[in-house]
Chains A and B, each alone.
Chain A
Amino acid sequence: MKRSTIFKVVTIVAVVATLACALYIMAHRLGLSDELDFGAGAYYYADIPGFDKIVNTDSYSTNVPTWVHIVLFLAWGWLMYRLWVWIDGKGGK
């Protein structure tokens, strides 16, 4: 059998298995909670009913100032951007 045919068959099996699994989960209501009135459909935190009670709770205290977090955040972002450019440039377009 050709490699491309094997790839196609494996892909179709993966698609069918994934969809069957998702349908089974939905049909049997797996993963839901009686206390929480939402599901995976609340994709962003502002969509979750009462999200402020969940997200805006101060549940961890740190002695590290916020500005240190911001500096590290920006430094890592810049470094990763340079890495991305370097990897993209390797081996031609």
Chain B
Amino acid sequence: MKSNVSDLWKKEDWLAVWIGFVIILIACIAVLTGGFDFSAAKFSTWHLWEGVAEKKSLIAQLTGPFWGKLLKTFLVLCVVFTVGVKLQGGEVKKYIPAFLCLFVLAVIVRLISAEFTLNRYLEWAFWALIVGLLISNTVGVPAWLKPAIRTEFYIKTGLVIMGFSVLFSNIAKFGLYGLGIAWIVTPIVIIFMWWLGTKVFKIDNKPLVITLASATSVCGTSAAIATGAAANAKKDDLSVAISISIIFTILMMVFEPMIIKATGMSQLMGGALIGGTVDSTGAVVLAGNALGAEAEQAAVLVKSIQNILIGFIAFFVAIFFATRVDRTSDKKVGAGEIWYRFPKFIIGFFVASIVASFIILPLAGSSQVSAINGVLDQYKNWAFVLAFTSIGLDTNFKEIAKQMQGGKVLWLYIIGQVFNIALTLFAVWFLLSGVVFDIPQLDLFK
């Protein structure tokens, strides 16, 4: 198999990279020059049934400017993805009406996941899957909608955009303590879960094993998305891994601080343990906050280092699968073959991250980078919502049940997570208890 120069403008991976770069470039120009507003539409939190004093209605936010922004978001996404589909040989006439319908479904998903109670615990990835699954398992997906179901294309584009928010400077935010807790433990847990899943439980679906292992040890949904794409995981694999991670995050967010408090662990140690083990970042902040301000800060420091890992883990997974899992013969896979199979969007992710960390951040400062990420974040979310709605539309409940492999997948997660907690606890004790090293002092609490 050989790579051609035309792959650069014909293959999905490269097109996702270019689309991601175009959106990042426009966002940078918009924010740095202040010349125009490129931000995408976003629903603010609204209340449906909560008896709160300041009840925010959905209707109140559906004003003229909102509709304008929504139209702009649609046009930007429709143009870039249509060009991408056309270059891949798709039919524009069939794609545009299908994309319009998919976008409407994505709007419904974002509307549901902006509701106060619904967005407290379950992220939009979950609601996107539910909406898609409800349609595909009841009325069915009409043939004319299928041209827009391009899950991988949307995911890869979203990941390239997400790369800009991954700042390498975060690696030293908690010194060697943070690196030790976040980075020593993470790969060991992944390798343990790989061994447990493939050798002990003998699960044949290796992409599912690695997707679940990354979700458990790194940072839940975003790690699952990146690793799943790197390992060529099937749509059902991603649904299963993310659903398990989301449900258990709810439990861990509540029980972990309770148990830590009961053991009398220091805030610094408790926060670091939470940052290293609870999957979603929102849940990490909340669980840390439940222990106290110092715990919240420690939890965020460790989690922000883990967030840098996403790209590296996806890179190693892509190399591993290209050289060991996907090879068809026992011959050693050459560099050309590895390059051919390597998911190129990972390069886009890294380039975006490097540009943000080493060019834009030093030149423009952290407040400008945050402002750019504020714009990009919404495009990333729209791309992922389109992807997860597509997954739901392309899946049926029976397939998901089959992916659970008679419960083995659930136990792989549970045992892997227990191992993750035990190993992180050991790392936290070793580094932060004061028994082996001096206890570090966070600046705010000196």
The chain A residues found within 8 Å of chain B, CB to CB, are 7-8, 11-12, 14-15, 18-19, 21-22, 25-26, 29-33, 35-48, 51-52, 54-62, 64-66, 69-70, 72-73, 76-77, 80-81, 83-85, 87-88, 91
Contact B121 A25 (CB under 8 A): yes
| Cβ proximity bits B147-158 to A, threshold 8 Å, 1 near / 0 not | 000000000000
- With most chain B CB atoms within 10 A of its CB, the pick from A12, A69, A91 is A69
Contact B280 A43 (CB under 8 A): yes
Known contacts A62-B175, A64-B172, A69-B176: A31-B286 contact under CB 8 Å:
yes
Residues of B within 8 A of A8 (CB): 406-407
Known contacts A11-B407, A87-B195, A91-B199: A41-B301 contact under CB 8 Å:
no
Residues of B within 8 A of A37 (CB): 45
B359 close to A (CB within 8 Å): no
Known contacts A69-B171, A83-B191: A46-B250 contact under CB 8 Å:
no
Of A14, A36, A44, the residue contacting B221 (CB under 8 A) is A44
In the complex, the chain B residue whose C-beta lies closest to that of A53 is: B370
Contact A84 B411 (CB under 8 A): no
Known contacts A44-B222, A70-B168, A77-B312: A60-B280 contact under CB 8 Å:
no
| Minimum CB–CB distance for B299 against chain A, Å | 10
| Minimum CB–CB distance for B179 against chain A, Å | 6
Interchain CA distance A21-B174 in the complex, whole Å: 34
Secondary structure class of chain A's binding surface, majority of residues: helix
The 10 residue pairs across chains A and B that have the minimum distance between CB atoms: A42-B282, A11-B407, A39-B120, A62-B175, A80-B187, A40-B283, A52-B370, A43-B280, A31-B254, A41-B123
In the complex, the chain A residue whose C-beta lies closest to that of B174 is: A60
Contact A59 B297 (CB under 8 A): yes
Secondary structure class of chain B's binding surface, majority of residues: helix
Contact A54 B316 (CB under 8 A): no
Residues of A within 8 A of B195 (CB): 87
Contact B297 A69 (CB under 8 A): no
| Minimum CB–CB distance for B344 against chain A, Å | 20
Residues of B within 8 A of A57 (CB): 297, 444
B194 close to A (CB within 8 Å): yes
Residues of A within 8 A of B198 (CB): 88
Contact B248 A43 (CB under 8 A): no
Contact B443 A60 (CB under 8 A): yes
Interchain CA distance A35-B285 in the complex, whole Å: 11
- With most chain A CB atoms within 10 A of its CB, the pick from B124, B187, B188, B248 is B187
| Minimum CB–CB distance for A45 against chain B, Å | 4
16 CB < 8 A contacts A-B = A8-B406, A31-B290, A40-B123, A40-B250, A42-B280, A43-B280, A47-B281, A47-B377, A47-B381, A59-B443, A60-B174, A69-B179, A70-B168, A76-B187, A77-B187, A80-B188
Q: Which of B408-446 contact A (CB under 8 A)?
A: 410-411, 414, 440, 442-444
Of A21, A66, A87, the residue contacting B194 (CB under 8 A) is A87
B229 close to A (CB within 8 Å): no
Interchain CA distance A12-B136 in the complex, whole Å: 26
Known contacts A41-B113, A44-B222: A22-B304 contact under CB 8 Å:
no
Interchain CA distance A52-B253 in the complex, whole Å: 22
In the complex, the chain A residue whose C-beta lies closest to that of B254 is: A31
| Minimum CB–CB distance for B243 against chain A, Å | 11
Known contacts A18-B247, A32-B286: A44-B307 contact under CB 8 Å:
yes
Contact A46 B165 (CB under 8 A): yes
Known contacts A8-B407, A40-B250: A55-B191 contact under CB 8 Å:
no
In the complex, the chain A residue whose C-beta lies closest to that of B313 is: A77
Known contacts A8-B407, A59-B443: A35-B187 contact under CB 8 Å:
no
| Cβ proximity bits B94-121 to A, threshold 8 Å, 1 near / 0 not | 0000000000000000000100011111
| Cβ proximity bits B117-131 to A, threshold 8 Å, 1 near / 0 not | 111111111000000
| Minimum CB–CB distance for B308 against chain A, Å | 8
Q: Which of B294-324 contact A (CB under 8 A)?
A: 297, 300-301, 303-304, 307, 312, 316, 319-320, 324
Contact B251 A18 (CB under 8 A): yes
Of A36, A39, A45, A59, the residue contacting B119 (CB under 8 A) is A39
| Minimum CB–CB distance for A23 against chain B, Å | 9
Residues of B within 8 A of A52 (CB): 366-367, 370, 373
Contact B443 A58 (CB under 8 A): yes
Interchain CA distance A32-B121 in the complex, whole Å: 9
Residues of A within 8 A of B320 (CB): 81, 84-85, 88
In the complex, the chain B residue whose C-beta lies closest to that of A65 is: B172
Interchain CA distance A19-B418 in the complex, whole Å: 18
Known contacts A36-B289, A40-B283: A26-B380 contact under CB 8 Å:
no
